[in-house]
Structure 1
Amino acid sequence: MRKRTWGFVASGLLVSLLLAGVVSGFASAHPDGLESALREGCIVDAEGAVTGGDCPAQREQEHEIGGPLADYGVTGIADDTLATGLSGVVGVLLTFALAGGGFWLVRRRAGQPTGDGDAAAQPTSAAGVG
């Protein structure tokens, strides 16, 4: 990979980490579009809890498995802003690692010769002469 490409990837990762780690702590506590759609027809109290009506959100339950990053936070950290930021950073790093590994595997596989002697698989020079 060229130096310019590495700089682009590194700057994209840095911006993603800053957004996930810092900006996510300021995200709105109000329901997003999906939650709002699921709450249509519900009766909601002042704290945002569903108390009645007829809507899909009435069947909402806690996730059975849970996990260290459940509910947009890191389990065991009392400060919600810090827990949300760390959860975002971990998510960005995991996504970057999985995507980077996938791209590496595809690139590595695409660079292997086919072994069938096909002329189309042979690289050509800048002048177009193979």
Structure 2
Amino acid sequence: MTTTTKKRTWLFFAGFALVALVFAGVFSYFADSDPDGLDSATLKGCEVVATSAGEELTGDCIAKNARDHHLADGPLADYAVGGDDRFTGVAGVLGVAATLVLAGGLFWVLRKRPARRDDSGE
């Protein structure tokens, strides 16, 4: 691979990463906080009732069996940083950056390497 080809490849991946990070930072703020289709489907047959202890489900639906994920109190839970919705874009950028680093590391480790020559003369 020539140096020009290496430079083009590096620039392509750097550009891709930059665009992905910008998109994540900007479009994360447009994420809808309303329930998605899966949440709506699991709530069919139930009603959300406000009580002194918080919201409670009445009726018979799948959502009554739901439990919090073990990372629900994590620093990036609910697409926010530390629970602050103003940092949704930061959470998006951190998620994309972590994905790019993990995928890049995997590709680097699993890449096809050129065959080694045996210099022993045999």
> TM-score normalised to the size of structure 2?
0.72
CA contact 1:50–1:58 (8 Å) conserved in 2: no
Find the aligned partners of 1:112 and 1:12 in 2 and give their Cα distance.
Answer: 26
Output the amino acid matched with 1:73.
Answer: A
Instruction: Name the residue aligned to 2:64.
Output: 58
Find the aligned partners of 1:112 and 1:54 in 2 and give their Cα distance.
Answer: 61
Instruction: Name the residue aligned to 2:48.
Output: 44
- The yes-or-no answer on 1:104 pairing with 2:83 is no
Find the aligned partners of 1:113 and 1:20 in 2 and give their Cα distance.
Answer: 39
- The yes-or-no answer on 1:95 pairing with 2:107 is no
Instruction: Name the residue aligned to 1:113.
Output: 115
- List runs of 5+ in structure 2 lacking aligned partners: none
- The yes-or-no answer on 1:17 pairing with 2:21 is yes
When the two chains are superposed, the root-mean-square deviation of aligned CA atoms in Å is 2.6
Instruction: Name the residue aligned to 1:69.
Output: 76
Find the aligned partners of 2:67 and 2:103 in 1 and give their Cα distance.
Answer: 31
**Secondary structure class of the residue paired with 2:58:** strand
> TM-score normalised to the size of structure 1?
0.68
- Shift of residue 50, structure 1, vs aligned partner: 5.5
Distance 1:111 1:52, change over 3 A: same
Find the aligned partners of 2:117 and 2:108 in 1 and give their Cα distance.
Answer: 21
How many residue pairs get matched? Answer: 109
Find the aligned partners of 1:115 and 1:54 in 2 and give their Cα distance.
Answer: 69
Q: Percent identity?
A: 49
CA contact 1:42–1:51 (8 Å) conserved in 2: yes
